[in-house]
């Protein structure tokens, strides 16, 4: 039996599909159990970035407030348009961390993580991903989402246990007409 010959057009189509799937399939990574959009590895990076933005001190930080849960939940809802930006941005953070300090972002020391984020903010982060995705724009996006997750309503997935409300001494903002309920002991 003679070997089958394929035409040039068929070969080009197959090669194009192979290259295209190599680019698209990583972006289609399935979320881990418990996550709606993020993989466990991505969630770990987002949590480390959020903790850099709102660190714990005498009060809870982004980690305790569950900011990563807020971001993950919103990426399958109102922030769905940012899914690609998050996938690329998280990969870019890892590239920058590896280029600058030879490790994964979430494993770096605090000062090293800060240096990576400062480089992103100044558009000086190394890594070829930043040629097609703006490092300052991704930093601004994740910073804004971190603040929303920390200071927003717990019903959206962040501010677990009302930590930011307690920190600034606020009662849970009540719904108009429901002022008869007390959310915290001693609240009016």
**Structure-token match 């990076």, residue found:** 45
Domain limits of the chain? 39-167
Worst-scoring range by mean pLDDT, 21-25, 26-30, 84-88, 157-161? 21-25
Higher pLDDT, 4 or 77: 77
Residue 51 has pLDDT above 60, yes or no: yes
Q: Could you give the CA distance from residue 4 to residue 35 in angstroms, rounded to a whole number? A: 46
Per-residue pLDDT band for 9 (boundaries 50, 70, 90) equals low
State both tokens at 88: 């690329």
Mean pLDDT, the chain, as a whole number? 82
pLDDT above 90 coverage of the chain, percent: 53
For the stretch 157-188, pLDDT in tens is 777 788 888 787 877 665 555 555 555 555 55
Mean of pLDDT values over 98-117:
98
Give residue 156's pLDDT.
77
Residue 82 has pLDDT above 80, yes or no: yes
How many DSSP H helices and E strands does the chain contain? 8, 0
Phi, psi at 185, each rounded to 5°? -60, 135
Mean of pLDDT values over 30-38:
72
């Amino acid at each position: 039996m003679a070997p089958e010959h394929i035409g040039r057009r068929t070969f080009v189509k197959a090669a194009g599909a192979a290259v295209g799937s190599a680019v698209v399939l990583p972006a289609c990574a399935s979320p881990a159990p418990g996550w709606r959009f993020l993989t466990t590895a991505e969630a770990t990076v987002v949590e480390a970035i959020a903790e850099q933005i709102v660190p714990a001190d005498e009060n809870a930080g982004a980690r305790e407030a569950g900011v990563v849960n807020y971001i993950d939940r919103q990426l399958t809802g109102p922030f769905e348009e940012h899914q690609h930006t998050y996938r690329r941005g998280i990969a870019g953070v890892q590239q920058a961390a590896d280029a600058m300090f030879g490790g994964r972002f979430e494993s770096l020391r605090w000062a090293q993580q800060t240096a990576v984020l400062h480089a992103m903010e100044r558009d000086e982060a190394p890594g070829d991903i930043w040629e097609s995705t703006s490092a300052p724009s991704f930093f601004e996006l994740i910073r804004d989402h971190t603040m929303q997750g920390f200071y927003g309503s717990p019903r959206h997935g962040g501010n677990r246990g009302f930590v930011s409300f307690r920190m600034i001494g606020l009662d849970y903002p009540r719904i108009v007409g429901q002022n008869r309920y007390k959310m915290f002991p001693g609240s009016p």
